[in-house]
Amino acid sequence: MPRFLQRFLAYRAGLAAGAYVALLALVALVTLVLPGVDPHQITDHAMVAPSAAHLLGTDELGRDMLTGILYGTQVSLAVGVSAALGATLLGVLLGAASGFYGGWLDLAVMRIAEMFQVVPSFILAAVIVALSGTGLTQVVLVIMLLAWPQIARITRGEVLRVKQLEFVDAVRCLGKREWEILAAEVVPNAMAPVLAAGTLVVAQAILLEASLSFLGLSSADIVSWGRMLNAGQRFLFNAWWMSVFPGLAIFLTVLAFNLLGDAVGSALNPRTVTR
């Protein structure tokens, strides 16, 4: 019974996380197309505590916190999702080739992956962004560069498992090319844990973007949760809402993507899935 309970709870958490992520996507879209609202709008009401007029208060320049947080969703989602997609694509390509063909290719890819994994990722990211500029593209590229090795490792492991299954040999005997076998037979059967890990990369990317912004390593023109947190920490004792709400947004979003990743992982587990 406790196992059943665990599963049920895990499922519900995944469901709630999925709903929350869907809501975020909706907010990002709406704020993207909605005309006439400027999240940078400066008013006389500086550092107003949460009230009916400003539900989450205002910052030191009188900008509405709620508007800022809603607009910040765009950055977090865009950075998180595009970095995760890029990292997953790169990781799957390299990891699959590495596991399937083996030999020197495998050695080379895995040594490079290790190189990226042993370097403290945050420091590397901060250095790269500081040197190359603070645009969102740079941040996305840095996160991709840091996150692909974990995807590549997982893909490689799965490919190693799948490639020795009999159906691969059976297809080989049908006269198919090796790369066709890899792409059409092996990789689709290796994707379940990779997709789960890819979802977790979204959470890592959002957190990394927020951390970089918090340190000021992002463009001041962009409304982002990390940047709001940065502004808020100077007034932590005068205006707690300036730190708490952006922090909460980051926390909830990272948590949601983590839960979603777990749910995706268990839902795609061949032992629990039935077609």
Partner 1 sequence: MAEPILRLENISKSFRRPGHAPVQAVDNVSLEVGRGETVALVGESGSGKSTLGRIALGLLAPDSGRVVLEGKVLRELSASELRQARIAMQPIFQDASSSLNPRRSARELMAQALPEAKGSVDEQAARLLDRVGLSPGRDYLARFPHEISGGQRQRLAIARALAMNPKLIIADEPLSGADVSIRGQVLNLLLDIKEERGVAYLMITHDISIARHFADRVAVMQRGVIVETGPAAQVLTSPSHPYTRELVAAVPVLAAPEAASIYR
Residue 268, token pair as written in the block = 């795609």
If one asks whether residue 45 binds partner 1 (CB under 8 A), the answer comes out as: no
Residue 118, token pair as written in the block = 């042993």
Residues 259, 267: Cα–Cα separation, whole Å: 12
If one asks whether residue 271 binds partner 1 (CB under 8 A), the answer comes out as: no
Residue in this structure with the two tokens 């999925």, named with its chain if needed: 18
Is residue 63 within 8 A of residue 42, CB to CB? The reply is yes
Smallest distance from partner 1 to CB 96, Å: 16
Among 25, 188, 236, 238, contact with partner 1 (rule: CB under 8 A): 188
Compute CA 140 distance to the chain's CA centroid, rounded to the nearest angstrom: 10
Q: Which is nearer to partner 1, 135 or 188 (CB)?
A: 188
Q: Cβ neighbours of residue 264 under 8 Å, at least 6 residues apart?
A: 14, 195, 196, 199
Q: Which is nearer to partner 1, 123 or 173 (CB)?
A: 173
Smallest distance from partner 1 to CB 95, Å: 19
If one asks whether residue 174 binds partner 1 (CB under 8 A), the answer comes out as: yes
Residue in this structure with the two tokens 């962009």, named with its chain if needed: 222
User: Around Cβ 245, how many Cβ atoms within 10 Å?
Assistant: 22
If one asks whether residue 177 binds partner 1 (CB under 8 A), the answer comes out as: yes
Of residues 140-169, which lie at the interface with partner 1 (CB under 8 A)?
A: 165-167, 169
| Candidate segments 3-11, 18-26, 71-79, 173-181, binder of partner 1 by CB under 8 A | 173-181
Q: Which is nearer to partner 1, 82 or 155 (CB)?
A: 155
Q: Which is nearer to partner 1, 34 or 170 (CB)?
A: 170
Number of residues lying near partner 1 (CB under 8 A): 18
Smallest distance from partner 1 to CB 171, Å: 7
Residues 168, 177: Cα–Cα separation, whole Å: 11
Is residue 181 within 8 A of residue 168, CB to CB? The reply is yes
Among 172, 193, 211, 262, contact with partner 1 (rule: CB under 8 A): 172
If one asks whether residue 170 binds partner 1 (CB under 8 A), the answer comes out as: yes
Question: φ, ψ for residue 64 (rounded to 5)?
Answer: -70, 125
Using H for helix, E for strand and C for coil, what is the string for 12-44? HHHHHHHHHHHHHHHHHHHHHHCCCCCCCCCCC
Return residues touching partner 1 (CB under 8 A).
165-167, 169-178, 185, 188-189, 270, 275
